[in-house]
Amino acid sequence: MLNPARLTGVHVDGRVEAVTVTYPDGSTERVPTGAVLLATNGFGADPDLVRRHLPEIATADYHGSAESTGDALRLGTALGADTAFLDAYQGHAALSPAGTLVGWATVMHGGFLVNDAGRRFGDETVGYSEYAREVLRQPGGQAVLVLDRRVHDACLVFDDFRDTVSSGSLRWAERPDELAALVAVDPGGLAETFAAAGRTARGEQSDPFGRTHWEEPLAAPFAAVRVHPALFHTQGGLRVDGHARVLTTSREPIEGLYASGGAAMSISGHGPGGYLAGNGLLPALGLALLAAEHTSEQKGLC
Protein backbone atom coordinates (compact mmCIF):
# COMPACT_ATOMS: atom_id res chain seq x y z
CA MET A 1 0.00 0.00 0.00
CA LEU A 2 1.35 3.43 -1.00
CA ASN A 3 -1.56 5.45 0.36
CA PRO A 4 -1.70 8.49 0.41
CA ALA A 5 0.42 8.47 -2.75
CA ARG A 6 -1.38 9.27 -6.02
CA LEU A 7 -0.99 7.51 -9.33
CA THR A 8 0.24 10.19 -11.71
CA GLY A 9 1.64 8.24 -14.64
CA VAL A 10 1.37 4.89 -16.42
CA HIS A 11 4.30 3.85 -18.58
CA VAL A 12 3.70 1.58 -21.56
CA ASP A 13 6.20 0.00 -23.92
CA GLY A 14 4.14 -2.53 -25.80
CA ARG A 15 2.41 -3.20 -22.51
CA VAL A 16 2.34 -1.62 -19.05
CA GLU A 17 5.81 -1.75 -17.50
CA ALA A 18 5.70 0.76 -14.63
CA VAL A 19 3.75 3.52 -12.92
CA THR A 20 4.71 6.83 -11.36
CA VAL A 21 3.32 7.68 -7.94
CA THR A 22 3.47 11.09 -6.32
CA TYR A 23 3.61 11.59 -2.56
CA PRO A 24 2.07 14.46 -0.56
CA ASP A 25 5.47 16.16 -0.26
CA GLY A 26 5.73 16.30 -4.07
CA SER A 27 8.33 13.57 -4.42
CA THR A 28 7.77 10.85 -7.01
CA GLU A 29 8.65 7.21 -7.40
CA ARG A 30 8.65 4.91 -10.42
CA VAL A 31 7.26 1.49 -9.51
CA PRO A 32 7.75 -1.43 -11.93
CA THR A 33 4.59 -3.44 -12.64
CA GLY A 34 3.09 -5.44 -15.44
CA ALA A 35 -0.54 -4.56 -14.71
CA VAL A 36 -2.54 -1.60 -13.41
CA LEU A 37 -6.21 -1.45 -12.44
CA LEU A 38 -7.57 2.10 -12.62
CA ALA A 39 -10.20 2.27 -9.88
CA THR A 40 -10.23 6.01 -9.26
CA ASN A 41 -13.99 6.51 -9.76
CA GLY A 42 -15.31 9.17 -12.13
CA PHE A 43 -14.87 12.91 -12.63
CA GLY A 44 -17.71 14.48 -10.66
CA ALA A 45 -15.33 16.48 -8.45
CA ASP A 46 -13.72 18.21 -11.45
CA PRO A 47 -15.96 21.17 -12.39
CA ASP A 48 -14.28 21.65 -15.76
CA LEU A 49 -14.86 18.04 -16.84
CA VAL A 50 -18.45 18.19 -15.58
CA ARG A 51 -19.14 21.36 -17.55
CA ARG A 52 -17.62 19.78 -20.65
CA HIS A 53 -19.39 16.44 -20.54
CA LEU A 54 -22.47 17.03 -18.33
CA PRO A 55 -23.55 20.62 -18.97
CA GLU A 56 -27.19 19.96 -18.08
CA ILE A 57 -26.30 19.18 -14.44
CA ALA A 58 -23.13 21.25 -14.08
CA THR A 59 -24.68 23.93 -11.85
CA ALA A 60 -26.17 21.43 -9.40
CA ASP A 61 -24.50 20.68 -6.07
CA TYR A 62 -21.90 17.92 -6.17
CA HIS A 63 -22.68 15.31 -3.53
CA GLY A 64 -20.01 12.70 -4.20
CA SER A 65 -16.43 11.84 -3.34
CA ALA A 66 -13.87 14.63 -3.42
CA GLU A 67 -11.41 12.13 -4.90
CA SER A 68 -13.42 11.64 -8.12
CA THR A 69 -11.30 14.06 -10.09
CA GLY A 70 -11.04 12.31 -13.45
CA ASP A 71 -7.58 10.77 -12.92
CA ALA A 72 -8.47 7.67 -14.95
CA LEU A 73 -9.61 9.78 -17.91
CA ARG A 74 -6.39 11.76 -17.96
CA LEU A 75 -4.12 8.75 -17.53
CA GLY A 76 -5.98 6.60 -20.04
CA THR A 77 -6.50 9.12 -22.81
CA ALA A 78 -2.83 10.13 -22.59
CA LEU A 79 -2.11 6.55 -23.67
CA GLY A 80 -4.60 6.66 -26.54
CA ALA A 81 -7.53 5.11 -24.68
CA ASP A 82 -11.06 5.48 -25.98
CA THR A 83 -13.95 6.70 -23.83
CA ALA A 84 -17.67 6.01 -23.75
CA PHE A 85 -20.87 7.40 -22.19
CA LEU A 86 -19.17 10.45 -20.68
CA ASP A 87 -22.61 12.10 -20.56
CA ALA A 88 -23.94 9.44 -18.15
CA TYR A 89 -24.43 10.25 -14.47
CA GLN A 90 -26.44 9.63 -11.34
CA GLY A 91 -28.28 12.69 -10.18
CA HIS A 92 -30.79 13.21 -7.41
CA ALA A 93 -33.65 15.67 -7.46
CA ALA A 94 -34.21 16.12 -3.73
CA LEU A 95 -31.61 17.34 -1.27
CA SER A 96 -33.01 19.31 1.64
CA PRO A 97 -31.74 22.77 2.70
CA ALA A 98 -29.71 20.91 5.36
CA GLY A 99 -27.99 18.86 2.65
CA THR A 100 -29.75 15.65 3.67
CA LEU A 101 -31.32 13.32 1.13
CA VAL A 102 -35.10 13.57 1.29
CA GLY A 103 -35.51 10.34 -0.67
CA TRP A 104 -37.69 9.44 -3.62
CA ALA A 105 -39.94 7.09 -1.64
CA THR A 106 -41.82 10.27 -0.77
CA VAL A 107 -42.82 10.55 -4.43
CA MET A 108 -43.55 6.86 -4.90
CA HIS A 109 -45.95 6.98 -1.93
CA GLY A 110 -47.86 9.87 -3.52
CA GLY A 111 -45.88 13.06 -3.01
CA PHE A 112 -45.24 15.56 -5.81
CA LEU A 113 -42.93 18.48 -6.64
CA VAL A 114 -43.90 22.05 -7.50
CA ASN A 115 -41.98 25.15 -8.55
CA ASP A 116 -42.29 28.65 -7.09
CA ALA A 117 -45.53 29.14 -9.01
CA GLY A 118 -46.99 26.21 -7.06
CA ARG A 119 -47.20 24.14 -10.25
CA ARG A 120 -45.97 20.66 -11.03
CA PHE A 121 -43.58 20.53 -13.98
CA GLY A 122 -43.28 16.86 -14.98
CA ASP A 123 -43.81 13.21 -14.17
CA GLU A 124 -41.89 12.77 -10.93
CA THR A 125 -42.04 8.99 -11.14
CA VAL A 126 -39.57 8.86 -14.03
CA GLY A 127 -36.96 8.60 -11.28
CA TYR A 128 -34.83 10.67 -8.96
CA SER A 129 -31.79 10.63 -11.24
CA GLU A 130 -33.38 12.00 -14.39
CA TYR A 131 -35.67 14.37 -12.48
CA ALA A 132 -32.67 16.25 -11.07
CA ARG A 133 -32.22 18.15 -14.34
CA GLU A 134 -35.93 19.02 -14.37
CA VAL A 135 -35.64 20.61 -10.93
CA LEU A 136 -32.50 22.44 -12.02
CA ARG A 137 -34.46 23.98 -14.91
CA GLN A 138 -36.96 25.61 -12.55
CA PRO A 139 -36.57 29.21 -11.36
CA GLY A 140 -33.73 29.32 -8.87
CA GLY A 141 -32.85 25.69 -9.65
CA GLN A 142 -35.09 24.57 -6.80
CA ALA A 143 -38.48 23.01 -6.13
CA VAL A 144 -40.76 22.10 -3.24
CA LEU A 145 -41.61 18.49 -2.43
CA VAL A 146 -45.10 18.08 -0.99
CA LEU A 147 -46.27 15.11 1.10
CA ASP A 148 -48.59 14.29 3.97
CA ARG A 149 -48.53 12.43 7.30
CA ARG A 150 -49.14 9.05 5.63
CA VAL A 151 -46.20 9.51 3.28
CA HIS A 152 -44.06 10.88 6.10
CA ASP A 153 -44.71 7.87 8.31
CA ALA A 154 -44.13 5.40 5.47
CA CYS A 155 -40.71 6.95 4.77
CA LEU A 156 -39.44 6.88 8.34
CA VAL A 157 -37.91 3.47 7.64
CA PHE A 158 -35.20 5.27 5.64
CA ASP A 159 -32.22 6.76 7.50
CA ASP A 160 -31.86 9.61 5.00
CA PHE A 161 -35.46 10.68 5.44
CA ARG A 162 -35.17 10.52 9.23
CA ASP A 163 -32.11 12.76 8.95
CA THR A 164 -34.18 15.24 6.93
CA VAL A 165 -36.94 15.19 9.55
CA SER A 166 -34.39 15.66 12.34
CA SER A 167 -32.88 18.62 10.50
CA GLY A 168 -36.15 20.53 10.83
CA SER A 169 -36.46 21.08 7.08
CA LEU A 170 -40.11 20.00 6.80
CA ARG A 171 -42.91 22.53 7.21
CA TRP A 172 -46.42 21.44 8.26
CA ALA A 173 -49.84 23.00 7.68
CA GLU A 174 -53.50 22.04 7.63
CA ARG A 175 -54.32 23.84 4.37
CA PRO A 176 -52.50 24.29 1.03
CA ASP A 177 -52.53 28.09 1.32
CA GLU A 178 -50.91 27.91 4.76
CA LEU A 179 -48.32 25.52 3.42
CA ALA A 180 -47.61 27.80 0.47
CA ALA A 181 -46.79 30.68 2.80
CA LEU A 182 -44.34 28.52 4.78
CA VAL A 183 -42.31 27.50 1.72
CA ALA A 184 -42.72 30.70 -0.34
CA VAL A 185 -44.70 29.42 -3.32
CA ASP A 186 -47.74 30.93 -4.99
CA PRO A 187 -50.79 29.97 -2.89
CA GLY A 188 -53.24 30.01 -5.77
CA GLY A 189 -51.07 27.81 -7.91
CA LEU A 190 -50.46 25.35 -5.09
CA ALA A 191 -54.18 25.15 -4.27
CA GLU A 192 -54.97 24.34 -7.90
CA THR A 193 -52.18 21.75 -7.99
CA PHE A 194 -53.50 20.05 -4.86
CA ALA A 195 -56.98 19.88 -6.39
CA ALA A 196 -55.74 18.53 -9.72
CA ALA A 197 -53.42 15.99 -8.09
CA GLY A 198 -56.26 14.76 -5.91
CA ARG A 199 -58.54 14.22 -8.90
CA THR A 200 -55.80 12.38 -10.74
CA ALA A 201 -54.96 10.18 -7.77
CA ARG A 202 -58.65 9.25 -7.45
CA GLY A 203 -58.77 8.31 -11.13
CA GLU A 204 -61.11 11.14 -12.09
CA GLN A 205 -58.76 12.55 -14.74
CA SER A 206 -55.50 11.69 -16.44
CA ASP A 207 -52.29 13.44 -15.51
CA PRO A 208 -51.10 15.98 -18.11
CA PHE A 209 -47.50 14.85 -17.53
CA GLY A 210 -48.29 11.17 -17.87
CA ARG A 211 -47.87 10.15 -14.24
CA THR A 212 -49.88 7.01 -13.45
CA HIS A 213 -48.68 6.00 -9.96
CA TRP A 214 -50.12 8.02 -7.08
CA GLU A 215 -50.99 5.46 -4.38
CA GLU A 216 -53.68 7.77 -2.95
CA PRO A 217 -54.51 11.48 -2.63
CA LEU A 218 -52.69 13.52 -0.02
CA ALA A 219 -54.68 14.43 3.09
CA ALA A 220 -54.20 17.03 5.82
CA PRO A 221 -51.97 17.70 7.61
CA PHE A 222 -49.62 18.45 4.73
CA ALA A 223 -45.84 18.85 4.76
CA ALA A 224 -43.42 20.46 2.35
CA VAL A 225 -39.69 20.81 2.05
CA ARG A 226 -37.54 22.93 -0.24
CA VAL A 227 -35.30 20.70 -2.38
CA HIS A 228 -32.44 21.23 -4.77
CA PRO A 229 -30.79 18.81 -7.21
CA ALA A 230 -27.38 17.21 -6.95
CA LEU A 231 -24.86 15.29 -9.00
CA PHE A 232 -23.88 12.13 -7.11
CA HIS A 233 -21.39 10.55 -9.50
CA THR A 234 -20.51 10.23 -13.15
CA GLN A 235 -21.12 6.98 -15.04
CA GLY A 236 -18.90 7.26 -18.10
CA GLY A 237 -15.23 6.52 -18.51
CA LEU A 238 -12.60 4.53 -20.36
CA ARG A 239 -13.82 1.97 -22.88
CA VAL A 240 -13.09 -1.60 -21.71
CA ASP A 241 -13.55 -5.10 -23.09
CA GLY A 242 -14.84 -8.28 -21.47
CA HIS A 243 -11.64 -8.66 -19.47
CA ALA A 244 -11.86 -5.05 -18.20
CA ARG A 245 -8.86 -4.17 -20.40
CA VAL A 246 -8.75 -0.53 -21.47
CA LEU A 247 -9.18 -0.20 -25.24
CA THR A 248 -7.67 2.32 -27.62
CA THR A 249 -9.68 4.36 -30.10
CA SER A 250 -9.00 1.57 -32.61
CA ARG A 251 -10.47 -0.95 -30.13
CA GLU A 252 -7.13 -2.60 -29.37
CA PRO A 253 -6.35 -3.42 -25.73
CA ILE A 254 -3.62 -1.54 -23.91
CA GLU A 255 -2.03 -4.67 -22.49
CA GLY A 256 -1.75 -4.59 -18.73
CA LEU A 257 -4.10 -1.62 -18.27
CA TYR A 258 -7.53 -2.26 -16.74
CA ALA A 259 -10.36 -0.09 -15.44
CA SER A 260 -13.33 -0.67 -13.16
CA GLY A 261 -16.16 1.26 -11.55
CA GLY A 262 -16.48 4.94 -12.38
CA ALA A 263 -13.12 4.85 -14.17
CA ALA A 264 -14.67 2.62 -16.83
CA MET A 265 -17.49 3.06 -19.30
CA SER A 266 -21.01 2.91 -17.93
CA ILE A 267 -23.59 0.13 -18.09
CA SER A 268 -26.24 2.86 -17.83
CA GLY A 269 -26.08 4.16 -21.39
CA HIS A 270 -26.34 7.89 -22.00
CA GLY A 271 -27.58 10.61 -19.68
CA PRO A 272 -29.19 10.09 -16.25
CA GLY A 273 -32.15 7.98 -17.35
CA GLY A 274 -30.35 4.63 -17.45
CA TYR A 275 -29.17 4.78 -13.87
CA LEU A 276 -30.54 2.19 -11.46
CA ALA A 277 -29.46 1.57 -7.89
CA GLY A 278 -26.32 -0.56 -8.03
CA ASN A 279 -25.18 0.62 -11.47
CA GLY A 280 -22.11 2.14 -9.85
CA LEU A 281 -21.26 -0.73 -7.52
CA LEU A 282 -21.77 -3.48 -10.10
CA PRO A 283 -19.06 -2.28 -12.53
CA ALA A 284 -16.72 -1.62 -9.59
CA LEU A 285 -16.99 -5.18 -8.34
CA GLY A 286 -17.57 -7.00 -11.64
CA LEU A 287 -14.89 -5.34 -13.73
CA ALA A 288 -12.33 -5.58 -10.92
CA LEU A 289 -13.04 -9.32 -10.70
CA LEU A 290 -12.67 -9.72 -14.46
CA ALA A 291 -9.38 -7.83 -14.36
CA ALA A 292 -8.09 -9.98 -11.51
CA GLU A 293 -9.06 -13.18 -13.33
CA HIS A 294 -7.35 -12.02 -16.52
CA THR A 295 -4.12 -10.99 -14.80
CA SER A 296 -4.02 -14.28 -12.90
CA GLU A 297 -4.00 -16.08 -16.24
CA GLN A 298 -0.98 -14.10 -17.41
CA LYS A 299 2.59 -14.86 -16.32
CA GLY A 300 4.88 -12.47 -14.52
CA LEU A 301 2.70 -9.37 -14.70
CA CYS A 302 3.09 -8.23 -11.12
The per-residue pLDDT for range 241-256, each reduced to its tens digit, is 999 999 999 999 999 9
More confident: 208 or 277: 208
The per-residue pLDDT for range 130-175, each reduced to its tens digit, is 999 999 999 999 999 999 999 999 999 999 999 999 999 999 999 9
% of the chain residues with pLDDT over 70: 98
Please report the pLDDT score of residue 246 as a whole number: 98
Question: pLDDT-based confidence at 278, cuts 50/70/90?
Answer: confident
Cβ atoms of residues 95 and 227 within 8 Å: yes
- The CATH architecture annotation of domain 91-230 reads Alpha-Beta Complex (3.90)
Query: Integer distance in angstroms from the first to the last C-alpha of the chain?
Result: 14
**Residue ranges per domain, the chain?**
6-88+235-297, 91-230
The CA-based angle 35-36-40, given to 5 degrees, is: 170
- Report the C-alpha gap between 132 and 90 in whole angstroms: 9
- Whole-number average pLDDT of the chain: 94
From the candidate CATH numbers 1.10.3720.10, 3.30.70.100, 3.50.50.60, 3.40.50.720, the one assigned to the domain spanning 6-88+235-297: 3.50.50.60
Please report the pLDDT score of residue 282 as a whole number: 85
- Report the C-alpha gap between 164 and 96 in whole angstroms: 7
The per-residue pLDDT for range 74-115, each reduced to its tens digit, is 999 999 999 999 999 999 999 999 999 999 999 999 999 999
* 6-88+235-297 and 91-230: identical CATH topology: no
% of the chain residues with pLDDT over 90: 89
Asked if the model's pLDDT at residue 2 lies above 80, the reply is no
